[in-house]
Chains A and B, each alone.
Chain A
Amino acid sequence: MPQKQFGTAAAVDVDAEGFLADFSQWTREIAAAIAKEEGVGELTPAHWKVIEFMQKEFKENGQVPSVRKLNKSGVVSTKELYDLFPGGPAKKAAKIAGMKKPEGCV
């Protein structure tokens, strides 16, 4: 399992694409560092609202919520989500939130 260091935080386990292998190692500092790497920039309160909702869902169901679920939950509209996490919101938000890569259904 490769390791990666974000900012001044201790090195954490990541998969081949840089998704955290262990959600319990996630910190807000790591989130901020991944956001920069992914071209999302500074995390604003609007970003955090999405990240926190996704983490709550992930803890409850063990699944990364779909874009449709985020939209339906009233947390953020799909359009806003694409503005907040340009170029692939489900994947980028999941990565920043310290979750595994969303499973593409086959």
Chain B
Amino acid sequence: MKRLIILGAGTAGTIMANLMRRRLSRAEWAVTIIDRDNEHYYQPGFLFVPFGFYKLKNIVKPRARFLPRGVEFIIAEVDRIDPAASKIVFQDGSDLPYDYLIVATGAYIVPSETPGMLDGWRDTIFDFYTPDGATALADKLAAFPGGRIVIHINETPIKCPVAPLEFAFFCDDCLRRHHRRDKIELVFVTPLPGAFTKPVASKTFGTMLDEKRIQMVTDFNAERIDAAARKIIGYDGREIPYDLLVTVPTNMGSEMIERSGMGNEFRFLPTDPHTLRSKKYENVFAIGDATDLPSSKAGSVAHFQAEILAENLMRAIEGKPLEPAFDGHSNCFIESGKRKAILIDFNYDVEPLPGRFPFPLVGPMPLLKPSRINHWGKAAFRWIYWHILLPGRPIPFVPARMKMAGKKRPAETGGGTASGAGGAKNEKKG
């Protein structure tokens, strides 16, 4: 009996367990998935917890419920991968050999990477990327008397890169509804040169921040935090005071990857950006937030990667050449307040552009523009996540590779990064 091991039963790992169990012969292949606990959080839901829209119980289910029959689920702490011996070593010293391994161990916030951050942790400094962080922030916000709220991205890359923007938009919206907006100053601090990495979307989001009177501080890299004086101090000497700091600390891969000697400087696994195979080990593949790919760290990306990884894993097993098919496709709903949301759809080569999705002209969803239907799209996504995405079923009309149809490039401004690339010849003028 041969064995496929999947490390991590989050979004990416669960989808892979479902896809691979369907494709691998039950007579020849055992599929084992390993995680440290049995709680699967719907991570996009964390954003809604601080504002009281969701409670944790609305966004958590047992991991085991989403794994198919014929997949062995082990709850245990893994000490390391021994890639030379093709085996997993558990913390109790026991081990389990594999023929193929999928690393789907995700990304985590690491506040200890910034000197001083832990001094004010859950006192005046909060995160919303963890269940307990989001819950603690809900209590803090409810009791917040007024002052200066700083929303801060410490270092890129982070998972769900648009979440801090959504947090800022939600904050503004909630405060307005409670007639408290004039008592609170909102500041958005980023190490990027603008509200987003790519020019067209950066301009759209920058304008929205401006309209909502949310100040933006760009190119800011935190050297340390003085929690007693409540200020962030940048490497360039700039200081940003706060009354409440909502931070996205440095994101890193699992410590287990580091113990295995397999990670880069962020503990992410060096992975081929198109085939999803480890750059170093032939029988190791990686998916989702655990990789070092320059694609977004987001559930939609894991979903698009899964289809391609399943195909490539089968090809590797059958001794065929891999298909370098992953294009960096990402698709995100961004809550913009007032029960509207923005949809963006992009890949390695094509930045988020305006247009219609998934069908040209008719949509029904507009791209890069706030709309009611996108908000309902995001709300419906929680159901889609549990019932379509995790079981590894295709989402209707949304293929793994990005489509150019329906997208509109802005009039040439000279700085276009979205030149050429796969879908350009399919471009339709809307």
Binding site for B on A (CB under 8 A): 16-17, 66-69, 72, 78-79, 82, 86-88, 103-106
Report whether over half of chain A's contact residues are helix, strand or loop; otherwise say mixed: loop
Q: Are B192 and A104 in contact (CB under 8 A)?
A: yes
Q: Can you report 30 A-B residue pairs in the complex whose CB atoms are below 8 A from each other?
A: A16-B415, A17-B415, A66-B265, A67-B221, A68-B155, A68-B265, A69-B264, A69-B265, A78-B223, A78-B235, A79-B223, A79-B235, A82-B235, A86-B236, A87-B219, A88-B193, A104-B156, A104-B192, A104-B197, A104-B198, A105-B156, A105-B157, A105-B294, A105-B296, A106-B161, A106-B196, A106-B197, A106-B198, A106-B295, A106-B346
Q: Which residue of A lies closest to B330 (CB)?
A: A106
| With A69-B265, A104-B156 as contacts: A16 and B414 at CB distance below 8 Å | yes
Further contacts, 18 of them, CB under 8 A, given A68-B266, A105-B156, A105-B295: A16-B414, A66-B266, A68-B155, A72-B265, A78-B221, A78-B235, A79-B223, A82-B236, A88-B193, A104-B156, A105-B157, A105-B161, A105-B294, A105-B296, A105-B297, A106-B161, A106-B295, A106-B330
Q: Are B221 and A82 in contact (CB under 8 A)?
A: yes
Contacts of A104 in B (CB 8 A): 156, 192, 197-198
Contacts of A105 in B (CB 8 A): 156-157, 161, 197, 294-297
Chain B residues within 8 Å of chain A by Cβ, number: 25
Complex-state Cα separation, A66 to B265, whole angstroms: 9
Contacts of A17 in B (CB 8 A): 415
Complex-state Cα separation, A6 to B295, whole angstroms: 34
Complex-state Cα separation, A67 to B294, whole angstroms: 16
Report whether over half of chain B's contact residues are helix, strand or loop; otherwise say mixed: loop
Contacts of B414 in A (CB 8 A): 16
Contacts of B296 in A (CB 8 A): 105-106
Complex-state Cα separation, A78 to B192, whole angstroms: 17
Complex-state Cα separation, A67 to B296, whole angstroms: 19
Q: Which residue of B lies closest to A2 (CB)?
A: B414
Complex-state Cα separation, A82 to B155, whole angstroms: 15
Complex-state Cα separation, A87 to B197, whole angstroms: 18
Binding site for A on B (CB under 8 A): 155-157, 161, 192-193, 196-198, 219, 221, 223, 235-236, 264-266, 294-297, 330, 346, 414-415
Contacts of B157 in A (CB 8 A): 105
Complex-state Cα separation, A86 to B414, whole angstroms: 27
Q: Which residue of A lies closest to B295 (CB)?
A: A106
Contacts of A72 in B (CB 8 A): 265
Min CB gap A79→B, angstroms? 6
Contacts of B197 in A (CB 8 A): 104-106
Complex-state Cα separation, A50 to B297, whole angstroms: 29
Q: Which residue of B lies closest to A72 (CB)?
A: B265
Complex-state Cα separation, A104 to B297, whole angstroms: 13
Residue in A79, A82, A104 with the greatest tally of chain B CB atoms within 10 Å: A104
Complex-state Cα separation, A103 to B417, whole angstroms: 11
Top 6 nearest A-B pairs (CB, nearest first) are A104-B197, A105-B157, A82-B235, A69-B265, A68-B265, A16-B415
Q: Are B219 and A88 in contact (CB under 8 A)?
A: yes
Complex-state Cα separation, A105 to B158, whole angstroms: 8
Contacts of B221 in A (CB 8 A): 67, 78, 82
Complex-state Cα separation, A68 to B264, whole angstroms: 10
Min CB gap A66→B, angstroms? 6
Q: Are A87 and B236 in contact (CB under 8 A)?
A: yes
Min CB gap B324→A, angstroms? 15
Contacts of B219 in A (CB 8 A): 87-88
Contacts of A69 in B (CB 8 A): 264-265
Contacts of B266 in A (CB 8 A): 66, 68
Q: Which residue of A lies closest to B266 (CB)?
A: A68
Complex-state Cα separation, A72 to B250, whole angstroms: 15
Complex-state Cα separation, A58 to B228, whole angstroms: 41
Contacts of A68 in B (CB 8 A): 155, 265-266
Min CB gap B20→A, angstroms? 27
Residue in B223, B235, B415 with the greatest tally of chain A CB atoms within 10 Å: B235
Min CB gap A78→B, angstroms? 6
Complex-state Cα separation, A103 to B349, whole angstroms: 11
Complex-state Cα separation, A12 to B330, whole angstroms: 35
